[in-house]
Structure 1
Amino acid sequence: MTLAPPELGAPAGANPDLLPLLGRTPLARVRTELPHPHPGFWAKLECLSAGGMKARAAMSMLTAARRRGELHPGATVVESTSGTMGIGLAFAGQTLGHPVVLVGDSELEPSMRQLLRAHGARLELVDRPAARGGWQAARIARLREVLARTENAYWPDQYNNPDNPAGYRSMAAELIGQLDHMDVLVCSVGTGGHSAGLVGPLRRRWPRLKVIGVDSVGSAIFGQPARPRLMRGLGSSIHPANVRHGVFDEVHWVGPAEAVDTCRRLARSSFVSGGWSTGAVALVAAWAARAEPGAVVATVFPDGPHRYLGTVYDDDFCHAHGLTTTAPATRPLEIPHPRAAEALGWTRCRTVLDSATASRGVHAPAHGGAV
């Protein structure tokens, strides 16, 4: 992947020498039993790109805003994050020369707070969730306060900014160059950025590509009720405009016990692992490889395990949250419609519902929607 330097003059403090560290991530063949034997799937290791997966989106959003004159040289960037986009924006801020203010919440891991600050970001933390919309709504409210008191500040609005998905076109090009064929793509869904950015180019290359969305239990994205969520990095209590519901053939909700079990299995026998999103997509990708023998299945591991050493890989944390005392599901419970039952653990549904339009009686189209 070749990235052109920013079109505007680089402000003081910019470090364009970081650009070659973005992207070009390898594929790993994963055959770990998750939890059953399976033929194997391909995993794109975004932890090996500086800034992780979301650095692609961060660079895309900031460079596009600079071209349009919405982001002035040296101006402050303000965004809400549960952690991963924060790392990406810290990378983009250093590359382009912009101070970064990140609005998080009190559930942000201490190690992630330290890492974000070490990379030069300033943190604003909210200490209680909003009555409606949870932590995300509380973070957005604080973000608006920060914007109001910060001159020339720019909010990328990762949940609704079309330049977020555009940042993943480079990943799609890499996948097309790395694989001769792809039958199934498994994508975690949070802001909706990487699924929306990947599916268009990949379906133009492989028109029959099946796309499986992976969400968290307690997430409202695909029509389930919003609940407090232990897992971070996927799922949402709000309705991001970047989620293209029509591109998904089916959706799986995964619980934290399944994600932890999968992450630990990966770490023990595949060496490559990650956090909640990685565990969730790996579980579903292994299931897809078993369900469709001979199919080429691929997914994306968004980051590595390091920020999760105090959660996913911590026995005391997992025991305190009941994640080691309850046997994780070994296959999904299937429901006919997202509103048929609440997903409390690994659940599959082949009816994909856009919860943002469901109240108006509008359902998302099946496979092939606009991207």
Structure 2
Amino acid sequence: MTVTALTAASPRATANPDLLTLLGRTPLARISCDLPCPQPGFWAKLEGLGAGGMKARAAVSMLLGARRRGELRSGAPVVESTSGTLGIGLAFAGQALGHPVVLVGDAELEPSMRRLLRAHGVRLELVDRPAAAGGWQAARLARLRALLAELPGAYWPDQYNNPDNVAGYASLATELTHQLDHLDILVCSVGTGGHSAGVVAPLRRRWPALRLIGVDATGSTIFGQPARPRLMRGLGSSIHPRNVAYGAFDEVHWVGPAESADCCRRLARDNFVSGGWSTGAVALVSAWAARVHPGAVVATVFPDGLQRYLGTVYDDDFTAAHGIGPERAATRPVEIRHPHAAEATGWVRCTTVVDPLSSGEVPYPHTGPEST
């Protein structure tokens, strides 16, 4: 496997704790455009307008937790695998707390994201092909473990299994309780499982009847579907993160790239605020929830903005080449009784939510490399 080192992390980083005053406090927007059908509107927390994006909350929480426990020494490097969004959050946290950041990405990381990460001073390494089992995610993690051996005192946050990832979103829940008088349905994209788990528990203390809808990507294995190659990045996974609070979800939707891209473009054109794959996916499901539950207050989180995706989601040549034009986008979900009842190749809904690692059921077979 070839590994490309794009830039070196500085040997020492100077802490800038004033940056922490920029964390969070993002606005809430009312989304009322057709997605793709007319819908009464829902609320979206615009995390892309916060410094470092949504995952800066988790990144700061994980580094502070590690420092409290003595796992991360002053000035020591932080090493993590990323498909992009957490990388920006860690770049923010590293500058704020004084830690050089080393990130392992892969060949599918967008050129714009590579440049952005370098601009923020991280050392970025790319693996050039997926592992035979576990895809890009496994390949990145293999390189990450090698880096931990090469960098004395380096700390790996392990975002997929770190409880401090979950704890970092308590501030997001607090902001929502201040911005909303009531909430009936919360829609969350699921990747590491951090923000859905971190937000729903405090929100249910405020509103005990709150329903939680999870949104996953087609080809993701988180909720028991088979792991397949995935075009969408930022949500879904080819492993089973232990931060996912399976018991908290009332239902799960799998959304494909055609549906997500169509919603992203509709948002940008008709409601101005938009984002990438995760934003399009949660917007689609939030609009559906608002439509099928008249009078319900529905809210979701838009994790980032659209700039990263100008060469993919918002590029006509890209969508045409991948066969994900708006004519391929479903306007309503297919209903299945169980995650193993059928493979989701487009928008699918299921009200049975299981933890694939503890359900005792036979999962789908692995049939090839996956993306993340």
Report the TM-score when normalising by structure 1. 0.93
CA shift, 1:214, in A, is: 0.1
* Paired residues of 2:212 and 2:248 also in contact (CA < 8 A): yes
| Counterpart residue identity of residue 100, structure 1 | V
CA shift, 1:19, in A, is: 1.0
Give the aligned partner of residue 31 of structure 1.
32
* Paired residues of 1:106 and 1:127 also in contact (CA < 8 A): yes
Listed one character per residue, the Cα deviations across residues 223-259 of structure 1 (whole Å, up to 9, x for unaligned) are 0000010000000000000001110000000000000
Give the aligned partner of residue 258 of structure 1.
259
Give the aligned partner of residue 192 of structure 2.
191
Whole-angstrom CA distance in 1 between matches of 2:19 and 2:84:
20
Whole-angstrom CA distance in 2 between matches of 1:153 and 1:29:
43
Does residue 86 of structure 2 align to residue 50 of structure 1? Answer: no
Give the aligned partner of residue 368 of structure 1.
none
Does residue 101 of structure 2 align to residue 89 of structure 1? Answer: no
Listed one character per residue, the Cα deviations across residues 324-355 of structure 1 (whole Å, up to 9, x for unaligned) are 17420000000000000000000000000211
| Counterpart residue identity of residue 32, structure 2 | R
Counterpart secondary structure, 1:358: coil
| Counterpart residue identity of residue 164, structure 2 | D
Give the aligned partner of residue 314 of structure 1.
315
Unaligned runs of 5+ in 2: 1-11, 364-372
* Paired residues of 1:55 and 1:92 also in contact (CA < 8 A): yes
Counterpart secondary structure, 1:355: coil
* Paired residues of 1:46 and 1:302 also in contact (CA < 8 A): yes
| Counterpart residue identity of residue 226, structure 2 | P
CA shift, 1:356, in A, is: 1.9
RMSD, aligned α-carbons: 1.2
Whole-angstrom CA distance in 1 between matches of 2:25 and 2:361:
42
Moved more, 344-353 or 323-332: 323-332
Does residue 317 of structure 2 align to residue 350 of structure 1? Answer: no
Counterpart secondary structure, 1:352: coil
Counterpart secondary structure, 1:213: strand
Count of residues paired in the alignment: 352
* Paired residues of 2:13 and 2:100 also in contact (CA < 8 A): no
| Counterpart residue identity of residue 200, structure 1 | A
Whole-angstrom CA distance in 2 between matches of 1:233 and 1:326:
24
Counterpart secondary structure, 1:298: strand
Does residue 178 of structure 2 align to residue 177 of structure 1? Answer: yes
Listed one character per residue, the Cα deviations across residues 252-294 of structure 1 (whole Å, up to 9, x for unaligned) are 0000000000000000010000000000000000000001000
Give the aligned partner of residue 285 of structure 2.
284
Give the aligned partner of residue 294 of structure 1.
295
Whole-angstrom CA distance in 1 between matches of 2:303 and 2:151:
31
Percent same amino acid at aligned positions? 76
Moved more, 123-132 or 74-83: 123-132
Whole-angstrom CA distance in 2 between matches of 1:224 and 1:138:
21
Kindly indicate whether structure 1 or structure 2 has the higher relative contact order, using CA contacts under 8 Å at least 6 residues apart.
2
Inter-CA distance 142–52: structure 2 relative to 1 (3 Å threshold) = same
CA shift, 1:12, in A, is: 5.8
Whole-angstrom CA distance in 1 between matches of 2:294 and 2:270:
22
Give the aligned partner of residue 138 of structure 2.
137
Listed one character per residue, the Cα deviations across residues 15-52 of structure 1 (whole Å, up to 9, x for unaligned) are 11111111000100000100111110000000111000
* Paired residues of 1:319 and 1:325 also in contact (CA < 8 A): no
Whole-angstrom CA distance in 2 between matches of 1:181 and 1:325:
34
* Paired residues of 2:65 and 2:164 also in contact (CA < 8 A): yes
Counterpart secondary structure, 1:214: strand
Give the aligned partner of residue 367 of structure 1.
none
* Paired residues of 2:225 and 2:343 also in contact (CA < 8 A): yes
| Counterpart residue identity of residue 173, structure 2 | A
Give the aligned partner of residue 100 of structure 1.
101
1:91-130, aligned counterparts within 5 Å? 91-130=92-131
Counterpart secondary structure, 1:170: helix
* Paired residues of 1:82 and 1:232 also in contact (CA < 8 A): yes
Give the aligned partner of residue 337 of structure 2.
336
Counterpart secondary structure, 2:305: coil
Unaligned runs of 5+ in 1: 1-10, 363-371
| Counterpart residue identity of residue 233, structure 2 | R
Whole-angstrom CA distance in 1 between matches of 2:352 and 2:287:
21
Q: Which runs of structure 1 show a deviation greater than 6 angstroms over 4 or more consecutive aligned residues?
A: none
Whole-angstrom CA distance in 1 between matches of 2:326 and 2:155:
45
